């Protein structure tokens, strides 16, 4: 596990440095959908991460946002979001991160999320707690959704799908103290893990968006479920995360 962690941290920091150095430059932008974009930096840092992980662990599988899955029979699979917050990055808005998780037989056992703009490294090993720059972190102790600071985002098909989070946003806007929509789900979830946010919900996220950060939240004492209170899965398109204390209240709002 130590070798896994060290390699993932090196890869995340190397990718993060490249992103930070190129922030604000003219980028090649391609459209994957009406609102979903990819830049040449997504591809560059993804390739950088994959090469480092495959060099160290050639028998491991790879699931990443911008490339076809590389399957393997070892039972280990890396789940990578090379640039979570691409739209922010393309506009030189400095809120984005690198996310790397490791699965063993379908169970996430390692999560690494790096925010290069603040040099914040979130790490968690299954059963080993959650850490920010080597300091142990835990979720907040806010007990009432009315005094909570929440985070969310909107799906890329907001223009064409009625299942677009607007009604949930409206309901939470009048129940919480405030809502932030920063544009990086993995970073939002890590901020929840260290107590900056109290709750988070979002639709239609992908495994690479949540794999690493969901483990960090669990190890920081937080709660995760779908919008009905059922078991959380990185493969299911509903993510509700909280400090645990306001989880039921958030479920009630989501099911109005």
Inform me whether the pLDDT recorded for 54 exceeds 80.
yes
pTM, entire model = 0.95
Q: Sorting pLDDT into bands at 50, 70 and 90, what band is 161?
A: confident
- pLDDT tier at 38 (50, 70, 90 boundaries)? confident
User: Which pLDDT does position 157 carry in this prediction?
Assistant: 77
Question: What is the mean predicted confidence (pLDDT) over 101-107?
Answer: 97
Strand order in the sheet with 107-115: 61-64, 76-84, 97-104, 107-115, 120-125, 130-132, 135-136
Residue 204 Ramachandran class (φ > 0 left, ψ -120 to 50 alpha, else beta): left
Confidence of residue 163 (pLDDT cuts 50, 70, 90): confident
Going by pLDDT thresholds of 50, 70 and 90, the confidence category of residue 246 is very high
What span, in angstroms and rounded, lies between the C-alpha atoms of 215 and 225?
13
As given in the structure block, the two tokens for residue 45 are: 């840092």
- pLDDT per position as a tens digit, 119-129: 999 999 999 99
Res. 205: pLDDT tops 90: yes
User: How many other CB atoms are found less than 10 A from the CB of residue 144?
Assistant: 13
Q: Which residue has the tokens 């039972």?
A: 75
Q: Say yes or no to pLDDT of 35 above 90.
A: no
**pLDDT at residue 84, rounded to an integer:** 97
Instruction: Give the pLDDT band (50/70/90) at residue 66.
Output: confident
The answer to which of 27-41, 110-124, 226-240 has the lowest mean pLDDT is: 27-41
Which residue ranges form the domains of the chain, and what is each CATH number? 2-136 (3.30.540.10), 145-254 (3.40.190.80)
pLDDT number for residue 171: 97
**pLDDT at residue 156, rounded to an integer:** 75
160: pLDDT confidence band, cut at 50, 70 and 90? confident
Cβ neighbour number for residue 143 with a 10 Å cutoff:
14
pLDDT reading at 136 higher than 90: yes
Task: State mean pLDDT over 70-81.
Answer: 95
Kindly give the residue spans of alpha helices, DSSP state H, lying in the chain.
2-21, 40-56, 86-90, 166-173, 185-193, 207-219, 247-254
pLDDT at residue number 81 = 97
Tell me the CA distances in angstroms from 182 to 129, 152, 255, one per residue in order.
Answer: 26, 8, 24
pLDDT, greater one: 36 or 62: 62
**Residue 186 predicted with pLDDT over 90:** yes
Decide if 78 contacts 63 (C-beta within 8 A). yes
């Amino acid at each position: 596990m130590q070798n896994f962690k060290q390699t993932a941290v090196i890869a995340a920091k190397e990718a993060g440095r490249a992103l930070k150095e190129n922030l604000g430059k003219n980028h090649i932008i391609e459209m994957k959908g009406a609102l979903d974009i990819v830049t040449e930096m997504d591809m560059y840092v993804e390739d950088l991460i994959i090469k480092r992980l495959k060099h160290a662990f050639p028998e491991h599988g790879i699931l990443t946002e911008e490339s076809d899955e590389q399957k393997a029979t070892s039972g280990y699979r890396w789940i990578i979001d090379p640039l979570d917050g691409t739209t922010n990055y393309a506009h030189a808005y400095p809120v984005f991160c690198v996310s790397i998780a490791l699965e063993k037989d379908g169970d996430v056992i390692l999560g690494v999320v790096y925010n290069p703009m603040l040099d914040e490294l979130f790490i968690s090993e299954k059963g080993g707690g959650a850490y920010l720059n080597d300091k142990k972190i835990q979720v907040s102790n806010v007990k009432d959704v009315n005094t909570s600071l929440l985070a969310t985002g909107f799906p890329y098909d907001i223009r064409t799908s009625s299942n677009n989070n607007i009604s949930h946003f409206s309901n939470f806007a009048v129940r919480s103290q405030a809502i932030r929509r920063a544009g990086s789900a993995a970073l939002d979830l890590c901020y929840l893990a260290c107590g900056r946010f109290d709750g988070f919900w979002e639709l239609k996220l992908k495994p690479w968006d949540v794999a690493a950060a969901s483990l960090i939240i669990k190890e920081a004492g937080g709660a995760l479920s779908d919008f009905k209170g059922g078991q959380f899965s990185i493969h299911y398109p509903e993510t509700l995360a909280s400090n645990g204390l306001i989880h039921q209240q958030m479920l009630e709002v989501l099911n109005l």
